Amino acid sequence: MATDPDIRRLLDIMARLRDPERGCPWDIEQTFTTIAPYTVEEAYEVADAIDRGDLAGLREELGDLLLQVVYHARMAEERNAFAFADVVAAICDKMVRRHPHVFGAARVADAAEQTRSWEAHKAMERAAVPPSSEGVLPSALDGVAAALPATMRAAKLQKRAARVGFDWPDGHAVLAKLEEEIGELHHEMVTDGSPDRIEDEVGDLLFVCVNLARKLDVDPEQALRRANRKFERRFRSMEAARAAAGGRLEGLSLDDLEVLWQQAKGAERPGD
């Protein structure tokens, strides 16, 4: 596969950085495991730039993310496993295979039908995978990465289960389950349940919350990021109001803090 001159330069830079004799000591000693956290971090920084509408920042963050792909491909090439060109070829083949309505004779009516077609292609690809050497059969849950953020992974697991019919009929049914889980958590709290039991019940509660978001067509990860931004904005507003009065939040009563919180809420425009 011919390589674009721009990406070729980046590949050459990475090869030089990893050169055992002339490279960078830090880059040379890195492994897939040590680089993986940076890969995850860079993906989040891309999402953050998008959330902020920062296109200049997005350009830079996309470059950082691309570097992560090149880094992993270089380490794989050093092991004679695969190279960057193989990564590109594989994703190109996958995109063509999963878009028969664009590159073939198939037809789809709209984006929703394409989403169903995409998921059907993925399901067929998973079903075609033979059992592992340990005899483990393919599962509808295969391919949901364990390293995903917990809310994102919960939503993906729930979507996979829903495809085989294991799902709540609607959001109202999930709300009922949510109330049940709150009751179970309350029981553990008032009966001095063990930390392990309380953690288990909190986990169940969060899992159901993700299920409710899914049934309402809300991205739970995005919703929580939005809630985080809102909390941070209002808390900083409380700090600013207190500083303008010549003081700090520390030492105020909970009632006084609540007054500042309500003022911060009231100062926001609807929809903020």
Which tens digit of pLDDT belongs to each residue from 88-120?
Answer: 999 999 999 988 888 988 888 888 778 777 777
Is domain 150-218 classified as CATH 1.10.287.1080?
yes
Amino acid at 193: G
pLDDT in tens, 23-41: 999 999 999 999 999 999 9
Q: Could you say which DSSP state residue 148 is in?
A: S
The Cα–Cα gap between 118 and 103 comes to: 14
**Domain topology for 5-97:** Helix Hairpins (1.10.287)
Amino acid at 198: I
Are 84 and 14 within 8 A, CB to CB? no
Mean pLDDT within 230-235: 96
Are 11 and 3 within 8 A, CB to CB? yes
Parts of the chain belonging to CATH 1.10.287.1080: 5-97, 150-218
pLDDT in tens, 186-229: 999 999 989 999 999 999 999 999 999 999 999 998 899 899 99
**pTM of the predicted structure, to 2 decimals:** 0.68
Are 150 and 156 within 8 A, CB to CB? no
